[in-house]
């Protein structure tokens, strides 16, 4: 059973080029050349991978007509018993699991949830966060798209224009809009304390196809990612919207994919 669990994680959620793998009854530890990952939580709905002492990649799943069952990433940051989440899991059930893990296991109060664009893989679990009275933030562009495209409007959701800075304990997180790409409203999140960039669906994993282009601006996409790269020059870990996290090579891959 442990062996099968490890195989599943290697094929669906983690980097190739494995250096070593150790396992016990509760956790698989995966070490790569660039990044150490600890899978600390796994159910059929949600996977949590610890990337640094403060940052977790959360993975939930979306069933689509075009691409089948898709792994969807978000970012959880914890510091000083506070937590900030980028992108909700894909539905309220998986969102409840994430909220419970952050609250109970990590003993952290979730002070913000931030969808990086208006698609379901970023906002599908917002109902659970609102049920728990967790403050949501979205760009003005995203709020407009949510109302137009998804008929979602929340009076409690605070909006910002092109940038947002929030404190999480004694550290900060940044949210920035660099231009159109996957959608007209896509923003990214950055946690400078650990040099972690959450690119969301603006950024592709290495080897990925162009994916869903229904709301995309493919002409603007490369320049938008280049702007992001030039702004966050200290980034070391990059989490894409889908697939494997890595380094800044994901930015370069995305730029070249759409050139």
Distances (CA, A) of 98 to 95, 105, 132, 223: 5, 10, 12, 34
Annotation says 117 is catalytic: yes
Annotation says 182 is catalytic: yes
Q: Catalytic one among 182, 184, 229, 244?
A: 182
3-state secondary structure 85-105: EECCCCCHHHHHHHHHHHHHH
For residue 180, which of 150, 216, 148, 154 has the smallest C-alpha distance?
Answer: 216
Q: Are 185 and 141 in contact (CB under 8 A)?
A: yes
Q: Catalytic one among 204, 228, 229, 244?
A: 204
Annotation says 145 is catalytic: no
Q: Catalytic one among 42, 54, 58, 117?
A: 117
CA–CA separation, 39 and 9 (whole Å): 9
- Structure tokens, 161: 């224009």
Q: Catalytic one among 71, 186, 195, 212?
A: 212
Q: Catalytic one among 87, 92, 121, 185?
A: 121
Annotation says 141 is catalytic: no
DSSP state string for 145-206:
HHHHHS----TT-EEESSEEEEEETTEEEEEEE---SSSTT-EEEEETTTTEEEEETTSPPT
Annotation says 212 is catalytic: yes
Q: Catalytic one among 42, 54, 58, 119?
A: 119
3 φ, ψ to 5°?
Answer: -60, -45
Q: Catalytic one among 13, 72, 122, 201?
A: 201
Annotation says 132 is catalytic: no
Q: Which residues are catalytic?
A: 117, 119, 121, 182, 201, 204, 212, 242
């Amino acid at each position: 059973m442990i062996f099968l669990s490890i195989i599943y994680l290697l094929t669906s959620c983690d980097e190739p080029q494995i250096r070593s793998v150790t396992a016990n009854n509760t956790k698989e530890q995966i070490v790569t050349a660039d990044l150490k990952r600890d899978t600390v939580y796994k159910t059929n709905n949600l996977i949590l991978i610890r990337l640094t002492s403060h940052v977790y990649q959360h993975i939930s799943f979306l069933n689509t007509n075009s691409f089948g069952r898709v792994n969807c990433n978000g970012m959880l940051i914890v510091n000083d018993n506070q937590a900030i989440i980028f992108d909700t899991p894909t539905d309220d059930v998986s969102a409840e699991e994430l909220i419970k893990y952050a609250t109970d296991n990590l003993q952290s109060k979730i002070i913000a949830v931030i969808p990086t664009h208006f698609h379901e893989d970023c906002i599908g679990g917002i109902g659970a966060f609102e049920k728990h009275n967790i403050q949501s933030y979205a760009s003005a562009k995203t709020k407009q798209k949510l109302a137009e495209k998804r008929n979602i409007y929340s009076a409690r959701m605070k909006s910002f224009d092109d940038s947002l800075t929030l404190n999480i304990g004694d550290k900060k997180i940044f949210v920035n809009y660099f231009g159109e790409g996957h959608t007209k409203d896509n923003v990214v999140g950055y946690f400078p304390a650990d040099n972690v960039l959450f690119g969301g669906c603006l950024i592709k994993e290495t080897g990925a196809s162009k994916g869903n282009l229904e709301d995309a601006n493919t002409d603007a996409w490369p320049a938008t990612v280049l702007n992001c790269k030039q702004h966050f020059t200290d980034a070391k870990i990059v989490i894409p919207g889908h697939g494997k996290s890595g380094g800044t090579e994901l930015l370069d891959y995305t730029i070249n994919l759409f050139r």
